[in-house]
Structure 1
Amino acid sequence: MDNRITRMLGVQYPIVQAPMGWIARSRLASAVSNAGGLGIIETSSGQLDEVRAEIGKMRELTDKPFGVNIAQAFVRDPDIVRFVIDQGVKFVTTSAGDPRKYCEALKGAGLTVFHVVPSLQAALKAIEAGVDGLVVEGGEGGGFKNPREVALMVLLPLIASKVDVPIIAAGGMLDGRTMAAAFALGAEGIQMGTRMVSAAESPVHQNWKDAIVAAAETDTVFLNRFGPGPALRALRTEKTTRMEKDPPPDGPMKEFGNALDLYFGGDMEASIALSGQVAGRIDSVRPVADILRDTIEEFEAVTADLGQRYGRA
């Protein structure tokens, strides 16, 4: 495919893997890059020494482009910009914070910068800061969210009508059909999160993958809408159901203290399993290469079919 996203990122397909804490490491990200998309290495775990090592592993596992995310709310290192620049990557996404904080320094070092936005106001602020593009994230997606969430079906065309930078759509992205819908609404690329958590190359415990496969479309909860701290969308478990009905007065963040027991130990009640509503459409664990190949093939088939059925002669 040839559009602004593939040209800016240097990839074959405009499909980006979400930068999920502890999960978006070399094993998963290299599989995405090798399959023609763009793998992203996370920093939201705050473990920058481990992140540095993972970036080194990326260079052993792939010769294709990849990027790094700076999750501003979770990375307190004042030298994070220098850290990212020193890794030699050319693409970075910034999220969970003010786009003005790092954009100028990153772009000054020659990096392409996209900022993750959950609202039109945030998008316009990012454009004013000088970003090269946007990741527009709908409220149906998993992870940390704006407490006033907006579905991608509303948010994406709204932002696309107000800006002229390339947009990557995030939230509910799973396959070629959702990719075609996102492109119809103004995107030029998509970001997959929950689909990648459940992929064969994802490092998370099989229990988490099985929970995604078993989930119905109603099996996520939206937590902490009224604070303090960020809101988030997660899989419905006994723990998150209790938290939905009786929110912790000091917010949900301390529940991530045992995150690794869930992520890699498989105890689904040990922490919070972040997930989007699209879990309800995932019915199997599949290799990344198959996911990307089938997504592109279905995208092409869907767009061609729409053109034949509804296009003018």
Structure 2
Amino acid sequence: MATNNKITQLFNIEYPLIQAGMIWASGWKLASAVSNAGGLGIIGSGSMYPDVLREHIQKCKKATDKPFAVNVPMLYPEIDKIMEIIIEEDVKIVFTSAGNPKTWTKHLQEHGIKVVHVVSSVKFAMKSEEAGVDAVVAEGFEAGGHNGRDETTTFTLIPMVKEKISIPLIAAGGIATGRGMLAAMVLGADAVQVGSRFVATPEASSHKNFKEMVVKAKEGDTVLTLKELAPVRLLKNKFYEDVQNLYAKAPSKEELIELLGRARAKKGMFEGDLEEGELEIGQISGLIHDIKPAAEIVKEMISEFESAKKEVAQL
């Protein structure tokens, strides 16, 4: 790996490989495993009460002496408490998403915290740079979970963002292999963020049923839906069929909210209800065929990245 990489220097990590902060999957076990393997592990605070987040940060510190981050969706109802805990617990890196980067960036940076904002468009990448963030994650519509409305793919988004910003750029969406990592970096990314591949690990806190369904998924088994609320990429199941049946009746936003109900993602990804749960995963799940330790995934991706680089040099 190049020693002059902007992201490895920014975060003081070995590889430009970041594990996404995913709800119901990214607890301290996964984050510490990825950080210990040389990447950047992220605790996903979106599914945690403030006191639970504090516990995960403290356990992560005990499990690794390497840098790790916390991901904060800015729609979170108790965001003030979450940010307070992050500062109190001396977390050095925060990834913000689903909101205006201006709101918290300066405040966090004043406490010596590096701030990265997740975007799904060129416009928001530019706004993030204006807000003073240290880096951006540009996420294509292949990604799992909550997503951009424009359906811009990673392959087109990365070079378009690269053209307009000068701060470090992290690519996300549809990346689960060393070859995918190299492709993203050839397109202009300084690093990659990987979500779905790390769901299929023993360390991910998501339910075994969900992990097994991810491994069984094939091309075409995920769909981006519920755009009127917040676009989300889901595995097809009974809940997804219920959403489709409701769409056939041209529903109001209120009817969609009623069908979604509360804690639908927890039911699916954390409790393992594969019928009624919301099962968020990326399109690349069609390329994930086994559950294996996070450290092995990091090692394999870096090894494949290096061998693919040599192959490309011979083209």
Alpha-carbon distance change, 219 to 290 in structure 1, aligned in 2, over 3 angstroms: same
Residue in 2 that maps onto 1:146: 148
Cα deviations by residue, 1:165-205 (Å, 9 ceiling, x for unpaired): 11111100101000010001111111111111111221222
Instruction: Give the alignment partner of residue 31 of structure 2, picking from 29, 32, 36.
Output: 29
Residue in 2 that maps onto 1:301: 307
Residue in 2 that maps onto 1:95: 97
Distance 2:290 2:110 in 1: 43
The answer to whether the aligner puts 1:109 opposite 2:115 as a matched pair is: no
* 8 Å CA contact 1:139, 1:149 repeated in 2: yes
The answer to whether the aligner puts 1:12 opposite 2:18 as a matched pair is: no
Superposed, which structure 2 residues align to 1:47-58 within 5 Å? 47-58=49-60
RMSD over equivalenced CA pairs, Å: 1.6
Query: For structure 1, which runs of at least 5 residues remain unmatched after alignment?
Result: none
Write the letter of the residue equivalent to 2:15: Y
Distance 2:81 2:139 in 1: 27
Alpha-carbon distance change, 256 to 208 in structure 1, aligned in 2, over 3 angstroms: farther
Instruction: Give the alignment partner of residue 292 of structure 1, picking from 298, 303, 309.
Output: 298
Distance 1:36 1:252 in 2: 41
* 8 Å CA contact 2:143, 2:283 repeated in 1: yes
Q: Runs of 4+ in structure 1 displaced over 4 angstroms? A: none
Q: State the SS of the aligned residue for 1:161.
A: helix
Instruction: Give the alignment partner of residue 46 of structure 2, picking from 44, 47, 51.
Output: 44
Superposed, which structure 2 residues align to 1:150-189 within 5 Å? 150-189=152-191
| TM-score (norm. length: structure 1) | 0.94
Query: For structure 2, which runs of at least 5 residues remain unmatched after alignment?
Result: none
| TM-score (norm. length: structure 2) | 0.93
Q: Percent identity?
A: 38
Q: Alpha-carbon deviation of 1:114? A: 0.8
Q: Alpha-carbon deviation of 1:256? A: 4.5
Residue in 2 that maps onto 1:128: 130
Distance 1:150 1:242 in 2: 26
Q: State the SS of the aligned residue for 1:44.
A: helix
* 8 Å CA contact 1:142, 1:233 repeated in 2: yes
The number of residues matched between the two structures is 307
Q: State the SS of the aligned residue for 2:268.
A: helix
